[in-house]
Amino acid sequence: MSPSLSLSMVFAGAALVGASVQFFQLKKETKDENNDEIINSQEYKLFRDSIFNALKLSSINDITDIKNIYLGSGISKLNKKDYDITHLLRIFIVDLLSGRFKAEECEINNWKSKITAFIHRFEESLPYEDLPQTERSILTDIDSFLELDNKESVKRKISELARIIKTREEYLNKLERSNKNSNKVAVIGIVLTVVFGFLPFVLPFLQK
């Protein structure tokens, strides 16, 4: 094998490895971006550590205690869907089971069961908890107006909700198109890296 051919193969191999790394990194970043942001936030760390210490002290008795910790940690001010209480508690369960905290196995299992029960209670008592603040507020108002049999106010709130959903859908569609364009650029970059990496290897055969 000639030195030039060997060098071409080295370049081709390096290009393929580089492209593979870019591809899998792109996939991983897309998948983990939201959870990484939550886990690394100071507000979640404060929430997580406070919940853990409260469990150790047996000072969590109901969902009000958890909600007070949630509000005290400042997470509610972030006003993001990914930071709702039930989602954070599920992440906390993962932290418990991953060995982040030092505790006996029986304690971990008991705390996991306790937090899981609290998640169910939150979902029952706060059916709109996972929704964005605006939609949650409107649906809560609709529930109140239904109990009062105030049909006009219910219709007004439904129209308001429809406008918000339409606006949000337009925003999400725009964001999706933007993300698709970004991904296309990244994929094209990977393809070009592979093509130019193998070009020195292929050219000698094409010139024959």
Please state, in angstroms and rounded to a whole number, the distance separating the CA atoms of residues 36 and 40: 6
- Of all residues in the chain, the percent with pLDDT exceeding 90 is 18
Rounded to two decimals, the pTM is: 0.51
CB atoms within 10 A of CB 70: 21
pLDDT at residue 134, as a whole number: 79
Per-residue CA distances from 48 to 77, 113, 128 (Å): 16, 16, 23
pLDDT at residue 102, as a whole number: 87
Q: What is the DSSP string of 124-136?
A: HH-TTTTS-HHHH
Higher pLDDT, 50 or 19: 50
Largest CA distance in the chain: 88
pLDDT at residue 123, as a whole number: 80
CA angle 139, 145, 146 (to 5 degrees): 90
Q: What integer is the mean pLDDT of 57-74?
A: 87
CB 74 within 8 A of CB 83: no
Residue 59 φ then ψ, to 5°: -105, 10
Q: What is the DSSP string of 55-118?
A: HHTT---SHHHHHHHHHHTTGGGG--GGG-HHHHHHHHHHHHHTT-S---HHHHHHHHHHHHHH
pLDDT classification of 7: cutoffs 50, 70, 90? very low
Token pair, residue 40, equals: 């690394």
Q: Residues 149-189: pLDDT tens digits?
A: 888 988 998 888 888 888 888 888 888 887 776 666 666 76
pLDDT at residue 39, as a whole number: 79
